[in-house]
Amino acid sequence: MFYSPSPNRRKSWLRLLTVGQKKLMAVGALVLVLFVALLSVLGVYAYRAMQYDMSRVGAGLVNNSLYDSQGSMIASLAEDEACVVTREELPQHLINAFVAREDERFFEHNGVVISSVIRSVLRNLQSMRYEQGASTITMQLTRNVYELSGKSMDRKLLEAMLAQRIERHFDKYAILQQYLSRIFYGQNCYGVKAAARHYFGKSVRDLNLVECATLAGLVRAPSLFNPVTSMESAMQVKKETLQRMLECGMITSEECHQSTQAPIVLRRGSAAESAGSSYAVMWAQHELEGIRAEVPEHSGGISVVSSLNLPLQQYMENAVEAALTAVERPGMYPEAWLAGMPPETAEATRTAYARLRRPKDLKVRGENNDLSGLLQCCALVVDARRNHRGKILALVGGRSAADGIDRWQGSVRPGRAAAPFLFCCACLPGGENMHIVARSTEVTGERLGYDVVRSFYESLKLKNVEIPAREQALYLYNGMFRMRRLDLARLLFCLQNEGRGYRLSMVNAIWNQNRQLIYNYEPEKSPEYIRRESATAVSSLPPFHVTEGEPVTMNETLPEGGGQWTMVFRNRGVCAFVWMGFDDASHPLASARELRPLLSRASMNLAREIFDKARAELRAQQQKAEAARQTPAS
């Protein structure tokens, strides 16, 4: 028997609705579901935002600090970075420039501009990737305070909820003060105080309209719009900022025109006052600028862990001054240079050095710390151990960091100190008649030919080196062109390490204020800058001095008053470099005959002294680590 529905059964109420009514109900149901889902999502993010401590927003900033390899603090990386700028210090032009550029409705919204968020979401959905943000100044402050990184809708929603909480807890000017005091302005400047001092040599309250517009435009892309490295881009972004201020009614047409035409005047001489309390800080700041692209966005409050050995660093700073004093003053022979000598030999050595003639007008460092016209010295100790090669253990860039000059960035004519590179070129495959003539760079160069030698130097990727023209080929062969002292040290170090291209670096790791690792140095694969067979063949030839059981040394007087260059190296140990001379090679005493033997002996003795000290420090460090491993945990 088959069941047959009764024809009198009540019809479903849905059948009473028209097609249009059904569609309307479906849409309404969908909207309701989406609305509930949206409320749920916002509720979740609101709950997450409630877990964050608002006191961090108003708290004082944390110093960017530099540490040595054992965790001992060396110094702060900037003076005023931990100071929040006050309301009274903020010129109105600075407030207006940032508001016009970054968030023109800053004083009206509650932390989030809904229309901007919707526009951003639609744009991102259209492109199916995170392409456009909708950050207000408050949201940017949120990102900096709580270290919210990454480009995702999750971060953006959390950021929006936190921004609204901040708006409820702080007034607009407090938010603006924190924002301006935390953001990155390029050149390792965190906060508007550091930026005003670094770029313009003045306090924040003294910034004029041109300078305010420059800083406001700079923060969009500090590496692209930096007036130090790209004045043309900085002028363009300044113009755009001024135009936005004009459109917002913050300045007059005349002010806009005059400030657009006005140049950006940098007073970077004042940077020396804040740069560096030490050469280690100066180097770290320079290296941080170079790796900026590898470090996620973060605010101030970073901890930079370096490869420096603090006891060695402190020892070397004193040793450099003692060595220069020995050159300037008879009888001031450092005791460290006499270590291991019998008393009779030590006294004879001291006496012989004191009797060496000194130039009559040689300036001696006095108590007033006047550094002008003085002999200078820079020293560098590099780790040559396996898995540590290229890491800097200690460095000194002169007699005092107060002058703001790191002499490793300065240039010299290497002369015969560059001969090993020419000889390496001669070892390249290309003909049986190409061989090293170690006693004559000119003969070697002429046999190779200008094009071959020039091509080899170009392959070394040297910075700021002008290779002599063909008509001056002998200048190229004899090392009579200028190169940075740092590049000369790096290439000599690489040559002694089988031609591997190690970069000399100090920064090992960077941690943010939440103790999150945001950068970790990865040892390079170290490609061959110089063919291994060539480097190996040349590493024991003059001007290198090689004695069995002793470290490899080089001690060369640089041409044209360039000073003295010394290198002491032991494979899988350490490498020490020393340069001694005058900043200005045209100094009347730079080429004085009496000065050469003094500098030659002092430079070599200093290099050996810091070489031995570095090895002793590494041994002590290794023994301490082994003892810690053997000690059972309590």
Q: Confidence band (pLDDT; 50, 70, 90) for 409?
A: very high
**569/87 Cα distance (integer angstroms):** 56
pLDDT at 567 over 60: yes
Q: Per residue in 444-461, pLDDT tens?
A: 898 889 999 999 999 887
Report pLDDT for 53. Answer: 81
pLDDT at 297 over 50: yes
Q: For residue 10, is it within any domain?
A: no
Q: Confidence band (pLDDT; 50, 70, 90) for 149?
A: low
258, 284, 306 - which closes a domain: 306
Are residue 279 and residue 338 in the same domain, yes or no? no
Least confident of 339-343, 497-501, 629-633: 629-633
Are residue 282 and residue 332 in the same domain, yes or no? no
Helix residue ranges per DSSP H, 384-484: 419-426, 441-448, 450-459, 473-477
Are residue 270 and residue 386 in the same domain, yes or no? no
Are residue 295 and residue 317 in the same domain, yes or no? no
Are residue 603 and residue 579 in the same domain, yes or no? yes
Do 374 and 407 touch, CB atoms closer than 8 A? no
Which amino acid is present at 38?
A: L
DSSP state of 471: G
pTM (2 decimals)? 0.76
Report pLDDT for 131. Answer: 45
Report pLDDT for 125. Answer: 54
Average pLDDT, stretch 298-322? 88
Q: For residue 64, is it within any domain?
A: yes
Q: Which residue has the higher pLDDT, 421 or 79?
A: 421
pLDDT at 1 over 70: no
Q: For residue 6, is it within any domain?
A: no
Report pLDDT for 524. Answer: 62
Which amino acid is present at 5?
A: P
Q: What percent of the chain has pLDDT over 70?
A: 85
Average pLDDT, stretch 581-600? 92
pLDDT at 4 over 80: no
Are residue 79 and residue 227 in the same domain, yes or no? yes
Are residue 557 and residue 488 in the same domain, yes or no? yes
Tokens matching residue 284: 């770290």
Q: Per residue in 253-264, pLDDT tens?
A: 999 999 999 999
Tally the domains of the chain: 2
Are residue 204 and residue 132 in the same domain, yes or no? yes
Q: For residue 328, is it within any domain?
A: yes
Q: Per residue in 74-126, pLDDT tens?
A: 887 765 455 788 889 999 999 999 999 998 889 888 888 776 666 665 665 55
Are residue 241 and residue 349 in the same domain, yes or no? no
pLDDT at 424 over 50: yes
Average pLDDT, stretch 49-69? 78
Are residue 334 and residue 374 in the same domain, yes or no? yes
Which amino acid is present at 527?
A: P
DSSP state of 378: E
Least confident of 76-90, 190-204, 532-546: 76-90
**Chain-wide mean pLDDT for the chain?**
84
Q: Any idea what the CATH number is for the domain that residue 363 is in?
A: 3.40.710.10
Average pLDDT, stretch 315-341? 92
Report pLDDT for 43. Answer: 74
pLDDT at 420 over 50: yes
257, 272, 306 - which closes a domain: 306
Q: Any idea what the CATH number is for the domain that residue 92 is in?
A: 1.10.3810.10
Q: Confidence band (pLDDT; 50, 70, 90) for 157?
A: confident
Do 457 and 467 touch, CB atoms closer than 8 A? yes
**185/411 Cα distance (integer angstroms):** 29
Q: Per residue in 591-610, pLDDT tens?
A: 999 999 999 999 999 999 99
Q: Write out the residue range of the structural domain in which residue 282 sits.
A: 55-306
Report pLDDT for 15. Answer: 65
Are residue 285 and residue 317 in the same domain, yes or no? no
- Which CA distances in Å does 199 have to 163, 175, 242, 267, 522? 31, 24, 19, 6, 32
Q: For residue 218, is it within any domain?
A: yes
Are residue 302 and residue 319 in the same domain, yes or no? no
Q: What percent of the chain has pLDDT over 90?
A: 43
